[in-house]
Structure 1
């Protein structure tokens, strides 16, 4: 297949602003290339393709980054700023669509979903978030009725947020596990990784680390500086160690030194990439039983679970997870989250998209 992958307009590839979509994009592109498909990536300038994606073409467009739906109210209207990167990406995609067999949208945005029945080349959407907006819920439900094969989700927990016409297409996610070194021994530290923003719940991880009197290493873009300072002030000095936003090679080296990774989302996380990244290094995970991470973590196998917002239970989950043999999380990641398996699931999905008959009037 000739595939055009349209990235998130929230940030450029390599910036970290796109969150887990950036890692998903890298795995999807590299995996499809390995399976013999011709892939072009359309993303915001100054994007760069990560390792494993060198054979793909990269087209970059300028423009104003799109505000994330995570930071808008549930009843907020659809926003498209002047000179929006979102508009520039999809103007280019529409102009170039005749050169491709299928278009893949990785952005969680109203415009490309609305475009689905209006393109001449099939347009498929890998939905990257759970429900955060009435407007997005409505357009996803509309496409689920008119073009059900054109939607895919990472997990059943995520898909359950939406009003779908039938059983969801679940594709999980994939990782180049060769880039993650198994580390059989750990330092007496806890880890946390993600965008530093309120919906990620860092304050809960900080409180648990303080309760257990263990240092907490933190990786990620400080998206909300005031929030980061508030979290730091909420625990004793020295509890938190800010490690920055790191490329995969450096992140996995540091992450693998942790005894346990804490994952504390305040919302229905679609998947939980960092959960699998930790497991790939041999690090068990303590997380809330919510969303994708709650689906990925198997109690006593690769981590431990706690009821959402229950810090005391999360602290107990950390202590249980600390006892899990580190080969178990790595083995689970190898079995369920390889890039090759993800690419095969994506290919099966795209074949179903291409086989879906057009709806009347489209």
Structure 2
């Protein structure tokens, strides 16, 4: 039987160890953590956040932990073994969590790394693991599956597509995502340019968007954390005449002002995106989306209604979709964001998940 919490929860968020919150290194995980912290605080819960030193947020109380940053699992090979070296920030974060766990009702782990899952049996306070990517690592798949068996209901993912990359998909809880729609302004009269927003790294496939910008002559505005400078430099050398402009890693308020005025948002990912936070940000601004038909974005974009789903790596189809952008009603994009991806709806799903975990621990 489900037990609904009637008192505020004391929540401890364990952030990603790959970078400080606010740096952009953590990609969508940073943004999702802050969104959820904001909504949980609005609902009356207490939120503390354990994060690498230098982290900044307006939501929740940050406890900064020093140490060497972790290499993102996304940059490693599938069969790369786990290594833990002295003074890793993740080790320091979870040593601190072990010491203070008694002050909290629930720990929410945002790190896609082996250690938090391994430590789950040794931590007395329940842990909810929000897995941010699909299957990338054999050793990670193994430890997440073991956790899902020993602690049923504690593994959550964003989309069905993400869950299905794992052999234990049926044991993953799908929680989706959400944004504060007040932060995004609808625009019905766009300017003649396209937008691409993501970490600048090979798995994000920026070169495809640059090539179609060159072929169509439509300017492309690029935003996001510059994670791989050599990759970016090579793109610039390969497409010297492409009408592109890199605007940097911008705060949400500035980013959406540029996004909202674009004709369309391009998502040209090489890998299977778990969700694609920028897709719902685009929808909130009324911007149609053109995305490769794989991963989480394929569950978000309504083909022919809020954008176009394109065969992966097919630049001809990508260009054809750009020509058909004006067939999409921008008001429909905003309506989808309001109906499916509000922060309030996301907060409901997460609260229900937290309640179910705590109820299971009581039973």
Secondary structure of 2:11's match? strand
> What per-residue deviation string (whole Å, max 9, x for no partner) do you get for residues 16-46 of structure 1?
0000001100111111111211111111111
Match of residue 178 from structure 2: 174
Residue from 5, 8, 18 that aligns with 1:10: 18
**2: CA distance between counterparts of 1:303 and 1:273?**
15
Q: Aligned-pair distance for 1:147?
A: 1.3
TM-score, normalisation: structure 2: 0.95
Residue from 152, 159, 165 that aligns with 1:148: 152
Contact 1:66–1:81, Cα closer than 8 Å, also in 2: no
Map of 1:108-257 to 2, 5 A cutoff?
A: 108-164=112-168, 166-257=170-261
**1: CA distance between counterparts of 2:262 and 2:83?**
40
**2: CA distance between counterparts of 1:165 and 1:342?**
21
Contact 1:148–1:165, Cα closer than 8 Å, also in 2: no
Q: Aligned-pair distance for 1:165?
A: 6.7
Match of residue 264 from structure 1: 268
Higher mean displacement: 10-19 or 145-154 = 145-154
Match of residue 294 from structure 1: 298
Match of residue 48 from structure 1: 56
**1: CA distance between counterparts of 2:76 and 2:49?**
27
**1: CA distance between counterparts of 2:234 and 2:362?**
52
Residue from 51, 58, 63 that aligns with 1:59: 63
**1: CA distance between counterparts of 2:198 and 2:253?**
16
Q: Aligned-pair distance for 1:207?
A: 1.2
Contact 2:292–2:311, Cα closer than 8 Å, also in 1: yes
Secondary structure of 1:39's match? strand
Matched, 1:344 2:332: no
Residue from 105, 109, 125 that aligns with 2:109: 105
Q: Aligned-pair distance for 1:82?
A: 3.0
Higher mean displacement: 80-89 or 99-108 = 80-89
Contact 1:62–1:88, Cα closer than 8 Å, also in 2: yes
Contact 2:11–2:48, Cα closer than 8 Å, also in 1: yes
RMSD of aligned residue pairs (Cα, Å): 1.4
Residue from 19, 43, 47 that aligns with 2:27: 19
TM-score, normalisation: structure 1: 0.95
**2: CA distance between counterparts of 1:79 and 1:265?**
28
Residue from 90, 94, 110 that aligns with 1:90: 94
Q: Aligned-pair distance for 1:238?
A: 4.4
Map of 1:259-338 to 2, 5 A cutoff?
A: 259-338=263-342
> What per-residue deviation string (whole Å, max 9, x for no partner) do you get for residues 154-189 of structure 1?
000001111217353111111011011111111111
Secondary structure of 1:291's match? coil
Secondary structure of 2:54's match? coil
Q: Aligned-pair distance for 1:230?
A: 1.2
Q: Aligned-pair distance for 1:323?
A: 2.4
Change (3 A) 1:131 1:165: closer
Match of residue 3 from structure 2: none
Contact 2:200–2:224, Cα closer than 8 Å, also in 1: yes
**2: CA distance between counterparts of 1:80 and 1:270?**
26
Contact 1:175–1:338, Cα closer than 8 Å, also in 2: yes
Q: Aligned-pair distance for 1:270?
A: 0.7
> What per-residue deviation string (whole Å, max 9, x for no partner) do you get for residues 226-266 of structure 1?
10011122224242110110000100001111101100111
**2: CA distance between counterparts of 1:358 and 1:147?**
13
Match of residue 39 from structure 1: 47
Contact 1:73–1:133, Cα closer than 8 Å, also in 2: yes
Secondary structure of 2:71's match? coil
